[in-house]
C-alpha cells in the first residue's frame, strides 16, 4: 500500500509539473500600469483611479467610450478624472461601464459598476461659480431636483458668514442643500448632495453667492432661522 501512494504522488507531481509547463506565464513590462481601485466621489463629480505606473503625463482614459479629462492634480499613482459632458452622456444611469486606461507601457480595460448616473455641471461664468449648479437642479422637479418645492429650512447670518437653503421632499425622501460660506481666509459654495463643492478665492465671490441665494431662493433674514431643524 505504501508503494502505491508513493507512485501516485510521484505521478501527480510529474503531471502537475507538465501542466504548469504547458501554460507559460507572460512577463509583464516593469512599467506596465496596474489599477488597485476605482472610486467615484459624487461630491466633486470626480472619478479616482488608484494604482501604479498610471503615467499622469501621458495617459489617456475613456469611461463608457467617452474621453475623460485628467485633473492637473493627478499623479502616477492616482488619476483624478473630471466628469465631462461626454462622460455624463455615456454614464447616464446605473450599470456596468468599461474604464479604459492606456499608457505608453500598456493598457487596461476594466468593467466597473456605477450605482448612479453622472451629471456634468460646468462652472458658472458669473462671480459665483455655483450659480449654474443651483439653477440646474432648481429647474428639475423632484426626484431629480427641487423645482416647485418650498425651502423647509433657511439659515442666513445676514452678514459675511454663511447662507444655507434646504429643501426636503418627504414623499420621495429627497434632500438638497444650497450652501455658501466664508471663514475669513477661505470659503466654498456647493449644491449638496448632487453637485460638487467649489472653492471660493475671495470674499467677493462669497458675497456674490450669498446675494444670488438671497435674491433667487430666499428672503433676507436678519437672524438665523431653522436652528437645529436644519441638517447643516
pLDDT of the residue at 29: 67
What is the set of domains in the chain, with CATH numbers?
A: 34-114 (2.60.40.10), 131-229 (no CATH)
pLDDT of the residue at 218: 62
* Alpha carbon distance 99, 36 (integer Å): 13
* Alpha carbon distance 180, 188 (integer Å): 6
Conformational region of residue 27, where left means phi above 0, alpha means psi within -120 to 50, and beta covers everything else: beta
pLDDT of the residue at 201: 84
pLDDT of the residue at 221: 45
pLDDT of the residue at 185: 84
Q: Give the burial string for 146-185 (b: 16+ CB within 10 Å, else e).
A: beeeebbbbbbbeeebbbbbbbbbeeeebebbbbbbbeee
pLDDT tens, position by position, for the chain (232 residues)?
Answer: 333 333 333 322 332 333 333 444 455 567 899 999 999 887 677 899 999 999 999 999 999 999 998 988 899 999 999 888 889 889 988 899 999 999 999 999 999 998 878 877 665 556 888 888 888 888 888 888 888 888 877 777 665 588 888 888 888 888 888 999 988 888 999 987 777 788 888 888 888 898 888 888 765 444 444 444 566 5
- Do residues 79 and 62 touch, judged by C-beta distance below 8 A? no
Sign of dihedral through CA atoms 59, 63, 65, 71?
A: negative
Q: What is the pTM of this model?
A: 0.49
Closest CA to 35 of 26, 23, 48: 48
Judge if the upstream peptide bond of residue 119 is cis by omega within 30 degrees of 0: no
Amino acid at each position: 500500500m505504501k508503494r502505491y501512494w508513493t507512485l501516485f504522488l510521484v505521478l501527480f507531481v510529474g503531471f502537475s509539473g507538465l501542466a504548469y509547463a504547458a501554460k507559460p506565464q507572460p512577463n509583464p513590462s516593469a512599467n506596465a500600469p496596474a489599477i488597485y481601485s476605482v472610486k467615484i466621489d459624487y461630491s466633486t463629480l470626480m472619478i479616482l483611479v488608484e494604482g501604479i505606473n498610471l503615467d499622469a503625463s501621458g495617459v489617456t482614459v475613456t469611461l463608457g467610450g467617452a474621453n475623460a479629462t485628467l485633473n492637473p492634480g493627478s499623479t502616477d499613482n492616482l488619476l483624478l478624472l473630471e466628469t465631462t459632458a461626454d462622460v455624463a452622456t455615456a454614464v447616464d444611469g446605473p450599470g456596468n461601464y468599461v474604464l479604459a486606461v492606456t499608457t505608453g507601457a500598456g493598457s487596461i480595460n476594466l468593467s466597473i459598476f456605477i450605482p448612479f448616473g453622472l451629471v456634468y455641471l460646468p462652472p458658472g461664468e458669473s462671480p459665483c461659480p455655483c450659480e449654474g449648479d443651483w439653477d440646474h437642479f432648481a429647474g428639475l422637479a423632484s426626484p431629480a431636483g427641487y423645482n416647485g418645492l418650498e425651502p423647509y429650512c433657511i439659515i442666513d447670518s445676514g452678514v459675511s458668514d454663511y447662507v444655507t437653503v434646504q429643501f426636503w421632499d418627504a414623499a420621495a425622501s429627497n434632500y438638497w442643500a444650497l450652501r455658501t460660506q466664508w471663514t475669513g481666509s477661505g470659503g466654498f459654495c456647493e449644491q449638496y448632495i448632487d453637485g460638487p463643492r467649489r472653492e471660493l478665492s475671495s470674499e467677493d465671490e462669497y458675497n456674490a453667492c450669498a446675494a444670488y441665494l438671497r435674491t433667487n431662493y430666499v428672503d433676507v433674514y436678519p437672524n438665523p432661522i431653522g436652528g437645529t431643524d436644519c441638517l447643516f
